[in-house]
Structures are given as structure tokens and as C-alpha cells.
Structure 1
Amino acid sequence: MEHGAAAAVDAAPVLVRVEGLAKRYGDTTIFEDVDFTLRQGEFVCIVGHSGCGKTTILNTLAGLERASDGHVIVDGREVVGPGLDRGVVFQGHALMPWLTVRQNIAFAVRSKWPDWPKTKVDEQVRKYVALVSLTPALDKKPSQLSGGMKQRVGIARAFAIEPRMLLLDEPFGALDALTRGTIQDELLKICAATRQTVFMITHDVDEALLLADRVMLMSNGPHARVAEIVVNTMPRSRQRATLHHDPQYYPMRNHLMDFLVERSHPLTPPRSIP
């Protein structure tokens, strides 16, 4: 079944195509010649040191920034601005503090489907609030929620508009380890249930190996590039508690750590996993 799930992703159509992407600020080239694809239902993490342009790449996919060169094609159309076909979750939850959980998510749902009746909007809200296990907090305001709960609301809001692609910019970076693990588990379950395509920035190698089908490794900036793309060969039903028991885990983890510590300089040639 696991091999079937992986094969299904491999056989899925390409949803996102990034070609020759580059970003310059004045005379400084942050990254250049960035090329990659994302298939429908695939979870891809991008890893690299600060300053290599990870967030700028994500913002370009979201349509929040324009690249200096190159193209981003989503579902056959070039990205020229933000759109409801792409949901974004940042490290800060960005909830409207004067609205309840229900109202925050309903606002996004109505933006996507303005003609829906109130009952259908509320049904959609309840569905995704339940998926992140927050039904008891449905009518609470952000000030009454913990940091982890706020992030779960942000994730539910992004999923509730049923985007073609979900963009996550270190959404768990400010959370404690226990809360972070809980939300990672929620995210895995939702992605499995919805077959969501996800592009996520993380600094956490273990998080990348838990969540991602592929891990993109960025060389250091300036002139950063995608130095290597590592395929996660562990089964898709990965769990935090048992991840380290998989014989493939430590070779891949060591490979990623070795890249970040020793080989992230742009001139260093890539090396295969032993």
C-alpha cells in the first residue's frame, strides 16, 4: 500500500513548474537558475541556511513577490499575483483578533465561494476545524487560544479554501517541541485525507524527513541554487515515534546534515547518498 501511495505521487501530473527563477536586489543576486516541479499530491520541503532565498521562492509561488527572472507556472497558468488556488500559512498565524475561530475561517471560505449560503459556509468551517481537533474552540477569539491552537486555526483556514497548493513558511518554528509534534501529526493526517500538494520551508531536518516526499537543498547565498533534491524513500505512513527505527532514516538524516554543515557552499559538488 505504501509503495502504491508513493507510485501514485510519481505518476501524478505536474501541478507546479518553476523555470529559471532568480531574484536580485540591486547588484546582489540572492538566488539564480532555480528549477523544480511539484506533482499533484506531493509534499516537498525546502531546506537551507538563512539568506539563500527560501522565503522569497515561497512568496513568488504565492504571488506575493515578483522574481527578477524566470517563471512560476501553476496548473498551466503563470503566477502573476496572489490567488485562492494557493493557501499560505506563515510562522505568525495572521488571524484577525476581533473575529472568532469560526468567523476567521468563514471569512476565507466566503472569499472563495461568495455565493454559498451561510449554512454551507458553516459546514465547511466545521469540517476543517474538526480536522485540526479544535471544535471546542470554534467560538473563541485568538486571544483565548495558545500559540499552537492559533497555528492550527491558520492551517484549517488555508485548507478550508481547498487550494490547489498549500505554501507553509516555517509554520511551527515558534512552537515548543510537543506542540510542534502534535501539529505535524495533524498536518500528515489532513494531507493524507485531502491529497494536498504542499511546499514547505523548514530548518528542521527531522521535520523534513517526517513530512516530505522530496527535500530540496539550497546552497548558501548569494547566488544560491537548488544544489540537490533528495527523495525520501521511507514509507509514507511515517510516524514521529518510530521514524528513527527505519533503517533508511539515519543515512538520509546524515546526508542532509552533512550538506548543511559541510557542503552548502555553492561551489561544492553534490554527492549521492551512500
Structure 2
Amino acid sequence: MSGSAFLKVEGLGKTYPGATEPVFDSVNFGIEAGEFVCIIGHSGCGKTTILNVLAGLESASTGHVFMDQREVAGPSLERGVVFQGHALMPWLSVRSNIAFAVRSKWPSWTAAQVRAQVEKYVALVGLNAAIDKKPSELSGGMKQRVGIARAFAIEPRMLLLDEPFGALDALTRGTIQDELLRICAETRQTVFMITHDVDEAILLADRILLMSNGPQARVAEVVKNTMSRQRQRATLHHDPQYYRIRNHLVDFLVARSKDLSHGRAPSQPPEVCPGLESPPPSIPL
């Protein structure tokens, strides 16, 4: 990754108090503006911790994160986060949940400006009819849409997604994936997303980071998605590139699973230089 990357992660490591080894170390990658990047790896490799460090919600033990050449040193409305749970305030309506975030970003806005911003992003996720309902009146998928609308409504420079669709049924998940693709295409949003779903990564991501097992996990490979950005979930499997990419990702994860099941030491990735000039090899599949 070139030095001009919008987001740079350099030599990132995390060791928890009392632990003898870091969960991950020497993690290096970059994300270009407007790029959608997914990260995949088995539990325990530190994916959520990495996302929390990018969000400024947690500190790394070593290394640095830079966004647009400024070091990330704490939470910021420049980075929107969507967690596995919707994290909505149950006493507020859909409108009020999103308005709260909008007013936090632009405290000087008039009520009319806030209302227009809220309604714009509620419409983008297809929830016009539920705008005045409270979370208890919504399905799980609708709640997640509200969380996505709230993150987009503050117009962050980067969106961080921690398995936001993992608890949803397949039909709902597919619908929201399609909406996320459409919104990202419209807004040119920069996205970093954790997922365990190989097909979801292929559908959404421009590049996929593959993590080795923890402890001492690292970015072992960077897989470039060579399929068209206009790809659609319904026709994804008709593209011959799809199976090459999918098989490579599955083979990687199966190999890491065997390491875990046999109690072997983590498979170490290729040597990685501290800077972003020499990241793990990007594999176009």
C-alpha cells in the first residue's frame, strides 16, 4: 500500500495486562479513500480490537493509526461505528435516535436541517414507514438498518462495521447487504468491516485482509477482489472469478482451523516490514 493511503496502520500490536504474548503484533495495512475493506480471521486473532483501535475506543500497545495523515488518538465523529448489536436508545424513536447523532455532529444546525438529514438517511435504508416507531416495535433487521442510517447520517469520513449482520436471518442480511452496497456506491464511503462470512466479503469488499491465528496474529494475505464493483448478490455465483476467490479464502480459513484443532503454533505469515511500503502481498484472484 502506498504512502498516500487515507488510513494507515503501522506496526499495530496489542498485549492485554497479564498476558505473556500479544493478541496481534506487527499489523500493517492501508485503506484508500472510497475503498471497502473486509477483515477475516478466526476468533482470537484480534479483529474487533483492531476495529476498536481504528475507532479510537481502545489503545494499542504498540504501533500507530493515521487517518488522513492525523494520528487517531480517541473517538471522533469523523469515524462512524456500527456494532454487532444495534445499540439504539430504547426510549427514543427511530427519528430521535438518528437526530441525537446528527445534533452531536452539527450542534448549530436548525431543527429543519436536522429533520432533513434524518429523513434523507432513513429513506436510504428504506425505513420511512417506521421513522416514528421505537426500537421495541422493530424487527432485528430494521434495528440494524437504523444503526446503519445513524452512522451514515453523521457523514463520517470512515465507516467501521463489526459484523453488523451476523445475528440476522439470511434473507434480511441479504437485503441489508444490497442496501449497504447501494449507499456506499452513492456516497463513496470508506469502509472497514469485520466479517466471518466469506460470501459477504466477496460481495462487499474491494480487498480482503486475511489474519493468521492468535496469539501474535498478523495480516497474512491481502486478497484483491477483481470482480466488477457493479456485482450483485443474486448473480455473484455466475462470475467465474467468484469461485477462484471463494476457494482461496476458504482454503486459507480451513488451514488455520487445522492449526487450531491440532494445537499447532500459529502459521506465521510472510515477513512484514514496519512501514506500509512493504505490506503482505496483494493477491488478485
The reply on whether 1:253 has 2:254 as its aligned counterpart is no
Residue 156 of structure 2 corresponds to residue 163 of structure 1 = yes
| Structure 1 residue 155: Cα displacement | 0.1
Q: What's the counterpart of residue 173 of structure 1?
A: 166
Q: Are 1:124 and 2:117 counterparts? A: yes
Q: Matches of residues 85-234 of structure 1 in structure 2 within 5 Å? A: 85-234=78-227
Per the normalisation by structure 1, the TM-score is: 0.93
RMSD after superposition:
1.8
Output the CA distance in 1 between the equivalents of 2:69 and 2:117: 28
CA positional deviation for 1:28: 2.5
Distance 1:157 1:268, change over 3 A: closer
Match of 2:48 in 1: 55
User: Paired residue for 1:14?
Assistant: 5
Contact 2:218 2:269 in 1 (8 A): no
The answer to which of 255-264 and 143-152 deviates more is 255-264
Q: What are structure 2's unaligned runs of at least 5 residues? A: 258-265, 271-279
Greater CA drift, 228-237 or 258-267: 258-267
TM-score of the superposed pair, with normalisation by structure 2: 0.90
Compute the displacement of 1:267 (Å).
Answer: 2.8
Q: Distance in 1 between matches of 2:130 and 2:269?
A: 50
CA, structure 1 residues 34+268, in 2 after alignment: closer, same or farther (shift >3 Å)?
closer
Number of corresponding residues: 265
1:20-78 deviation per Cα after TM superposition (whole angstroms, max 9, x unaligned): 00000132210000011010000000000000000000000000000000000011111
Letter matched to residue 268 of structure 2: L
Q: State the Cα distance separating 1:194 from its structure 2 match.
A: 0.2
Aligned to 1:6: none
Aligned to 1:72, the other structure's residue is in SS state strand
How far has the Cα of 1:100 moved from its partner?
A: 0.2
Q: Contact 1:19/1:33 (CA < 8 Å) preserved in 2?
A: yes
Percent sequence identity is 75
Q: Runs of 4+ in structure 1 displaced over 3 angstroms? A: 268-274
